[in-house]
């Protein structure tokens, strides 16, 4: 090339960049070629070791993402399950494209785009992934007596399968005690692949994996494979601009399981702001509506919130209260689909979780220090009416790290 740099693979967006075809430019506006700095970050993730922690006395597996991809893909091909391509998704892909997004990267989401036509293929995928874990057990471990069920109980955080008219995919999440689970997702079809523009990025890994396999020389600025990034939001430059400026933008949140409500509040707490305040206020209603459609029972809501707090705030315990306070305000402001008592139940749940977070962080010493003061009902206008005692008190604030939070919780 003119600048002296060489590519290992051809770029499908190179013609569009040259301006030879306006139509081709429009079809590739969701794509972008990674620069050298981005390639280096991607290489560090794929070649770095991630521990998969075992339960009980099972040993920790030290896994390099590039190795587990190769092992799983080769076994899928052996079982005649065709893998079209492998992609990196989620927060890790966003981190590769923009290092200082404010989100870091948590789970390692690897997508295997494959032909999954029926229950047999789903079952084979589950079995071969569990069988692949045997390859990563430390030397000296007797593998003959370890069954797939034992491996599942020891190393799998969760397993999900969705099979309907529009979505055919499964997920196997391998446990990591520090919140960096290795999530292997096997996708035949998936109608909605993102929640917000800032988490819509996918990076195609095949050219880099081929480079690892074939090249005798290490990568350099002037010698590395062409790697394509894609925004499934649809407009790569716009989505990347949102990531760099920490802007929240989405469309049709009613299509997302849970409405994207929990992720939306998480972005707000991490310093993101709405790209359009007026539009996002409207979309908040759709988020809340879809959340309560998917989680109508207060018990389900509790389990979902506790799971989200556990999985998304590792080493960020001090942010949990902020998150729950933000969620409380959004639900209170934008929920229009619930009966009054259902709405109060949900708000009470969020308040109780927030109070528990404060107690866990020693922001309040014990329950005896929490007092509920009841305001007289509006119809009590008689000055001699004394069934209520209204205390004139100053709000109590508890220090949390470098912030101050009101310790008053709404009473049920």
Residue 174 lies in a domain: yes
Residue where a domain terminates, one of 226, 245, 264: 245
Higher pLDDT, 32 or 26: 32
Give me the pLDDT at residue 364, please: 59
Decide if 21 is inside a domain: no
Same domain, 258 and 237: no
What is the pLDDT, as a whole number, of residue 311?
85
- What pLDDT, on the 0 to 100 scale, is given for residue 28? 74
Domain interval for residue 164 = 29-245
Mean pLDDT value of segment 381-399: 43
149 with 257, same domain?
no
Q: State the pLDDT at residue 6.
A: 41
Residues 262, 337, single domain; the answer is yes
State yes or no: pLDDT of 57 exceeds 70: yes
Would you say residue 393 lies in a domain? no
- Is 233 a member of any domain? yes
108-135 pLDDT, tens digit per residue, is 999 999 999 889 999 999 999 999 999 9
**Domains in the chain: how many in total?**
2
User: Three-state SS across 38-77?
Assistant: HHHHHHHHHHCCEEECCCCCCCCEEECHHHHHHHHHHHHH
Q: Is the pLDDT of residue 325 over 50?
A: yes
Handedness of CA 242, 247, 249, 255 (dihedral sign): positive
In this structure, the answer to whether residues 195 and 273 fall within a common structural domain is no
What is the rounded average pLDDT of the residues 307-316?
Answer: 87
Domain-located, residue 400? no
Both 264 and 197 in one domain: the answer is no
Query: pLDDT digit string (tens) for 183-206?
Result: 999 999 999 999 999 999 999 999
* C-beta of residue 346 within 8 angstroms of C-beta of residue 298: yes
Residues 171 and 255 in one domain: no
Nearest to 224 by CA among 9, 1, 4, 2: 9
SS (H, E, C) 79-119: CCCCEEEEEEEHHHHHHHHCCCCCCCCCCEEEEEEECCCCH
**Mean predicted confidence (pLDDT) in 352-368:** 78
Round to whole Å and give the CA distance between 144 and 134.
Answer: 10
* 260 lies in some domain: yes
Is a pLDDT exceeding 60 seen at residue 371?
no
pLDDT of 234-253, one tens digit each? Answer: 899 999 999 999 999 999 99
One domain for residues 138 and 237: yes
Do residues 95 and 235 both lie within one domain?
yes
Q: Tokens 């997508």 map to which residue? A: 111
CA angle 303, 402, 355 (to 5 degrees): 30
Q: Which two tokens mark 393? A: 């008190």
pLDDT value for 386: 45
What does the pLDDT read at residue 395? 40
Q: Are residues 251 and 348 in the same domain?
A: yes
pTM: 0.81
Residues 117 and 46 both lie in one domain: yes
In a domain, 102, yes or no: yes
For residue 25, pLDDT beyond 50: no
Pair 264, 302 in one domain: yes
In a domain, 193, yes or no: yes
């Amino acid at each position: 090339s003119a600048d002296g740099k060489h590519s290992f693979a051809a770029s499908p967006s190179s013609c569009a960049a040259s301006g030879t075809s306006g139509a081709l430019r429009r079809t590739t506006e969701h794509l972008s070629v990674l620069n050298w700095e981005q390639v280096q970050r991607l290489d560090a993730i794929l070649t770095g070791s991630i521990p998969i922690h075992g339960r009980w006395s099972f040993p920790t597996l030290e896994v390099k993402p590039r190795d587990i991809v190769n092992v799983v893909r080769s076994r899928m091909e052996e079982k005649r399950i065709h893998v079209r391509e492998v992609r990196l998704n989620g927060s890790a892909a966003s981190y590769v494209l923009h290092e200082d997004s404010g989100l870091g990267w948590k789970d390692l989401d690897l997508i295997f785009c494959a032909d999954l036509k029926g229950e047999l293929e789903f079952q084979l995928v589950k079995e071969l992934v569990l069988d692949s874990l045997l390859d990563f057990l430390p030397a000296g471990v007797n593998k003959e007596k370890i069954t797939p069920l034992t491996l599942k109980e020891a190393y799998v955080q969760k397993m999900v399968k969705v099979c309907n008219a529009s979505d055919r995919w499964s997920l196997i999440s391998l446990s990591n005690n520090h919140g960096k689970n290795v999530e292997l997702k096997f996708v035949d079809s998936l109608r909605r692949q993102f929640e917000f523009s800032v988490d819509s990025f996918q990076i195609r890994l095949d050219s880099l994996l081929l480079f690892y396999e074939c090249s005798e020389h290490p990568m350099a600025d002037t010698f590395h494979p062409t790697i394509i990034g894609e925004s499934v939001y649809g407009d790569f430059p716009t989505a990347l601009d949102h990531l760099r400026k920490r802007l929240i933008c989405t469309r049709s949140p009613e299509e997302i399981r849970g409405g994207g409500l929990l992720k939306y509040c998480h972005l707000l707490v991490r310093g993101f702001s709405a790209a359009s305040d007026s539009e996002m206020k409207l979309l908040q209603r759709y988020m809340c509506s879809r959340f309560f459609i998917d989680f109508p029972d207060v018990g389900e809501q509790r389990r979902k919130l506790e799971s989200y707090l556990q999985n998304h705030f590792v080493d960020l315990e001090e942010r949990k209260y902020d998150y729950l306070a933000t969620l409380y305000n959004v639900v209170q402001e934008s929920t229009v689909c619930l009966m009054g008592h259902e709405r109060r139940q949900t708000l009470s749940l969020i308040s109780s979780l927030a109070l528990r977070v404060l107690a866990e962080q020693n922001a309040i010493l014990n329950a005896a220090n929490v007092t509920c003061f009841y305001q007289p009902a509006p119809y009590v206008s008689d000055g001699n009416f004394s069934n209520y005692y209204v205390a004139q008190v100053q709000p109590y604030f508890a220090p949390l790290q470098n912030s101050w939070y009101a310790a008053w919780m709404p009473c049920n």
